[in-house]
């Protein structure tokens, strides 16, 4: 994330929040088996679909405070679109494709 010039904004028990200008992403601290669980804002779902398939339709978590509330679930939690990456190179390629090269 550092090469993509995202800076740590918040650290919770469940996620790291990163900011780059107006862009915000979360990285789950619960990621397993070496995969990075990146969660993007729901408004970026269409644009990101050409770059990588999401790991699931949505991921809800009360720690995603910068994202909208998911009102259709039993509990109203914030949500985003999760993606899994098995390497740092794949993650950086995805971030550069979605947000542009870091300057």
Strand, helix or coil for residue 9: strand
Q: Which two tokens stand for residue 80?
A: 């985003």
- Looking at the domain assignment, is residue 13 inside a domain? yes
* pLDDT tens digits along 13-72: 999 999 999 999 999 887 665 566 899 999 999 999 999 999 999 999 999 999 999 999
15 domain-assigned: yes
| Count of domains observed in the chain | 1
CATH of the domain at 53: 3.90.1150.40
Q: Is residue 2 part of a domain?
A: no
DSSP 81: E
Residue 27: give the domain boundaries. 7-99
Question: Is residue 51, in this structure, part of any structural domain at all?
Answer: yes
* pTM for this model (two decimals): 0.87
């Amino acid at each position: 994330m550092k090469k993509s010039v995202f800076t740590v904004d918040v650290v919770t028990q469940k996620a790291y929040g990163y900011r780059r200008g107006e862009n915000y992403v979360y990285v789950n601290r619960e990621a397993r088996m070496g995969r990075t669980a990146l969660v993007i804002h729901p408004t970026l779902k269409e644009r990101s679909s050409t770059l990588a398939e999401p790991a699931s339709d949505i991921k809800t978590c009360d720690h995603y405070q910068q994202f909208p509330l998911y009102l259709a679930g039993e509990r109203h939690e914030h949500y985003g679109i999760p993606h899994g990456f098995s390497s740092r190179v794949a993650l950086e390629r995805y971030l550069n494709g979605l947000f542009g090269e870091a300057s």
